[in-house]
Amino acid sequence: MIHRPRRLRATAAIRELVAEVSLTPANLMQPIFVREGLSAPREIMGMPGVLQHTETSFLTELDRALSAGVVSVMLFAIPESRDPEGSAALDPNGILNRAVRAARAHVSDHLVIVADLCLDEFTSHGHCGVLGASGAVDNDGTLEAYGLMALELARAGADLLGASGMMDGQVGHVRKVLDQNGFDGTGILAYAAKYASTFYGPFRNAVESELTGNRKTYQQDYRNRTESIRGISLDLEQGADIVMVKPALCYLDIVSAAAGISSVPVAAYLVSGELAMIESAAANGFIDRDGAIWEALYSVRRAGAQIICTYWAIEFAQKLKG
């Protein structure tokens, strides 16, 4: 035989020499939850090792991220009270804006601060936008709210706004509002392909979601690929600085497709249900935990994502450094 591919697998050193995909701490983005009114951090049901933080304890997470070499965090906030309009999201002194200001003051520009630009944590009905007279989410009315929310987050010091609501035209509208108000340097991380997924289940515990029903009228159908490509293309046209696919593991084909057409960096979000599956299987002794997580992270990189938003970011960045 002339062709013996096993020659390049013979030793660990050879395998390292020819490895096609690399992973560094800078590829990993850490989501962080800040809960208003909390006196001490508390674990989130269904998300082992992940906490709701107080307004002071989350600053320690920023320090841990920096120490591990993680260069970006995504902030989510849970208010004490909600209303149908999600007005706490628009309050300059609301919990998310306070967290962004505190983070910026704490780390200066040493971390990229991404703020979640969505209303679902703030609405009493749990949807990602304001409701119209029919009870359905009002797309264009929601865009107006996103614009106001974006301005407050930009004023607070966010580097990037995680436009996750899946409203038509959200990137273009937010870009226009930011530019008209002097925030042309604030970027948009667009959730360009966000599916109506079962794998978000534990996240709803993290943000104490009050949603009944589902979000299938605005999040994408998991049976479809073409509409995801269309969504990515539209967000790129409207000025997205980064495009994201969410969830990651069941949508690696979409991550790959995004990488093939995007002129900006591609991100993917390893979501709460994906975390829960691996952690639960490992806790029961069915799989090796670290091996499974490494495989998951590298699969997303192999598919073409430059940025992986994952609850394991700090832990596995530390292991990469080690």
Q: What is the pTM of this model?
A: 0.95
Instruction: Kindly state whether residue 6 falls inside one of the protein's structural domains.
Output: no
Instruction: Kindly state whether residue 4 falls inside one of the protein's structural domains.
Output: no
Instruction: Kindly state whether residue 124 falls inside one of the protein's structural domains.
Output: yes
Which of 194, 216, 319, 321 is labelled catalytic? 194
Instruction: Kindly state whether residue 199 falls inside one of the protein's structural domains.
Output: yes
Instruction: Kindly state whether residue 11 falls inside one of the protein's structural domains.
Output: no
CATH number of the domain encompassing residue 52: 3.20.20.70
Encode pLDDT of 88-133 as tens digits: 999 999 999 999 999 999 999 999 999 999 999 999 998 989 999 9
Per-residue pLDDT at 211 exceeds 90: no
Encode pLDDT of 268-314 as tens digits: 999 999 999 999 999 999 999 999 999 999 999 999 999 999 999 99
Distance CA 34, CA 24 (A): 26
Judge whether 321 counts as a catalytic residue: no
Q: What is the DSSP letter of 11?
A: S
State residue 204's pLDDT score.
Answer: 86
- pLDDT mean across residues, the chain: 96
Which of 176, 216, 246, 321 is labelled catalytic? 246
- 314 HSE (CA, 13 A, CB side): 16
**Bridge partners of residue 116, in order along the sequence:** 162
Residue 264 has φ and ψ, to the nearest 5°, of -125, 165
How many separate domains does the chain show? 1
Instruction: Kindly state whether residue 3 falls inside one of the protein's structural domains.
Output: no
Encode pLDDT of 221-251 as tens digits: 999 999 999 999 999 999 999 999 999 999 9
Q: What is the mean pLDDT of residues 15-26?
A: 96
Per-residue pLDDT at 203 exceeds 90: no
Q: Is 41 exposed, middle or buried (0-12, 13-18, 19+ CB in 10 A)?
A: middle
Encode pLDDT of 23-57 as tens digits: 999 999 999 999 999 999 999 999 999 999 999 99
127 lies in which domain range?
21-321
Instruction: Kindly state whether residue 8 falls inside one of the protein's structural domains.
Output: no
Instruction: Kindly state whether residue 227 falls inside one of the protein's structural domains.
Output: yes
Cβ contacts of 167 within 8 Å, gap of 6 or more: 128, 129, 137, 139, 142, 143, 146, 218
In this structure, what token pair is assigned to residue 302? Answer: 């192999």
Judge whether 176 counts as a catalytic residue: no
Alpha helical stretches, state H, the chain: 12-17, 57-68, 95-107, 139-156, 170-180, 201-206, 226-237, 252-261, 272-283, 289-303, 313-321
pLDDT band at 210 (very low <50, low <70, confident <90, very high): confident
